[in-house]
Amino acid sequence: MSNPNEVTARSNDEGTNELAELALNLHWSWNHAADELWKRLDPELWEATQNPWVILQTLSREKIEAALAEPEFRQRLDNLLHQNRESYSSDAWFQKKHAGSALTSVAYFSMEFMLSEALPIYSGGLGNVAGDQMKAASDLGVPVVGIGLLYGQGYFRQDFDSEGRQ
């Protein structure tokens, strides 16, 4: 016979893992179906960051577990995960149109990708174009991988001398 506390702990760990699965799938950056879930966990932090991973890394385990214990919250999480998993397991346009294709992966090289304001890895037009193309490829099921650079301090360091010259 199992210990009821073990069952509860396992259930909460599973819920936390499921939240992490949802947060780490960048689909949230253009599909806002999960926004209310993240907002429910911390409305102020969600408003400030729009980043589910920041919310999971910031909130206490107790607060996350309390939300997971609410049947409505848990049902919403389960529905979102089901929809996500279903969309990735079913054939999209590429798989239907090019069934049996030898193409397994396409590399998309760009200096930046604008996927969300929560991920500041872009500065302008190039990132906007790259992000839109990656989002479209994802929705179409095209096996594309974005490869870019993550600048820790921006693209360059700007200094001025005492004369005001750059």
pLDDT attached to residue 15: 86
Residue the block writes with tokens 């949802």? 22
Q: Please, are residues 145 and 161 in contact by the beta-carbon 8 Å criterion?
A: no
Cβ distance 126 to 119 under 8 Å?
A: no
The residue to which tokens 């936390």 are assigned: 16
Domain boundaries, the chain: 4-90, 94-147
Task: Give tens-digit pLDDT for 83-137.
Answer: 989 988 899 999 999 999 999 999 999 988 988 888 878 888 889 999 999 999 9
- CA proximity to 111, closest of 156, 151, 148: 148
Checking if the pLDDT of 163 tops 90, the result is no
* pLDDT at residue 70, as a whole number: 96
| DSSP 8-state class, residue 82 | H
3-class SS at 31? coil
At residue 11, what is the residue type?
Answer: S
Give residue 165's pLDDT. 82
> Which residues make Cβ contacts (< 8 Å) with residue 136, sequence separation at least 6?
none
Q: Which of the pair, 43 or 164, is modelled with greater confidence?
A: 43
Cross-strand partners of 152: 154
Per-range mean pLDDT, top range of 8-22, 46-60, 114-128, 144-158: 46-60
Nearest Cα to Cα of residue 32 among 134, 135, 158: 135
> Model pTM greater than 0.75?
no
pLDDT tens, residue by residue, 23-74:
998 887 888 999 999 999 999 999 999 999 999 999 999 999 999 999 999 9
pLDDT over 90 at 6, yes or no: no
Q: Residue 4's pLDDT is what?
A: 38
- Distance, in Å, from the CA atom of 49 to the CA atom of 71, rounded to the nearest integer, reads 26
Q: What are phi and psi of 91, to 5 degrees?
A: -70, 135
Q: What pLDDT sits at residue 19? A: 96
CB 116 within 8 A of CB 126: no
Q: Is 164 left (phi over 0), alpha (psi -120 to 50) or beta?
A: left
Per-residue pLDDT, 123: 80
Q: How far apart are CA 78 and CA 80, in angstroms?
A: 6
